[in-house]
Amino acid sequence: MAERAAPGTVPVLKDVIVDCVDPERLAAFWSRLLDRPVAGRTGPYVWLARGGGPGLGFQRVAEPKAGKNRVHFDLASADPDAVRARVEALGGRRLDRYADGGFLVLADPEGNEFCVIPPGPFEVDDDGRTDYLGEGRTD
């Protein structure tokens, strides 16, 4: 039987912070993409208005992103291709790994990776590949 946590010892995910060189620019991108207005700035942080779930903030750091993210967002949409077009219009881009596993992998203006997935269930094989975008799709 699993041990239960003592009351008051289970944390709640309050905020997700994205380290970035230009928090105003990145907050503006995500604000438009997620339709959540920029709430304001506090010190090195620019915050989006709270929606459901954790807050989203962007923290100024001196160095640009290097390497692949260890954590990324999965955004749900009934029309991933429409979101891709919107991301590109807002200054993001589609990454080359798009065709590798069938996932729509995009990047924000500073190169932070994120995926757009369908809102419902979809199949993923043991190697992490899927075909929710259509078998063999590479565009």
- 38-42 sheet: strands from edge to edge: 15-20, 55-60, 45-48, 38-42
pLDDT at position 73 over 70: yes
Structure tokens that stand for 79 in this block: 């029309």
What percent of the chain lies above the pLDDT cut of 90? 66
Long-range contacts of 28-32 (CB under 8 A, 24+ apart): 29/90, 29/91, 29/92, 29/108, 29/109, 30/56, 30/58, 30/108, 32/90
Tell me which of 22-36, 63-77, 123-137 is least confident. 123-137
Residue 132 scores a pLDDT above 80: no
Helix axes 23-34, 80-89, angle to 10 degrees: 150
DSSP, collapsed to helix, strand or coil, labels residue 30 as helix
pLDDT of 134 strictly over 70 = no
Q: What is the pTM of this model?
A: 0.84
Amino acid at 48: L
Between residues 130 and 28, the one the model is more confident about? 28
In which band, very low, low, confident or very high, does the pLDDT at 133 lie, cut at 50, 70 and 90? low
- What pLDDT score does 101 carry? 63
Q: Which of the residue ranges 8-12, 15-19, 88-92 would you say has the lowest mean pLDDT?
A: 8-12
> What's the mean pLDDT in 87-106?
83
Domains of the chain plus CATH, in order, are: 12-63 (3.30.720.120), 71-139 (3.30.720)
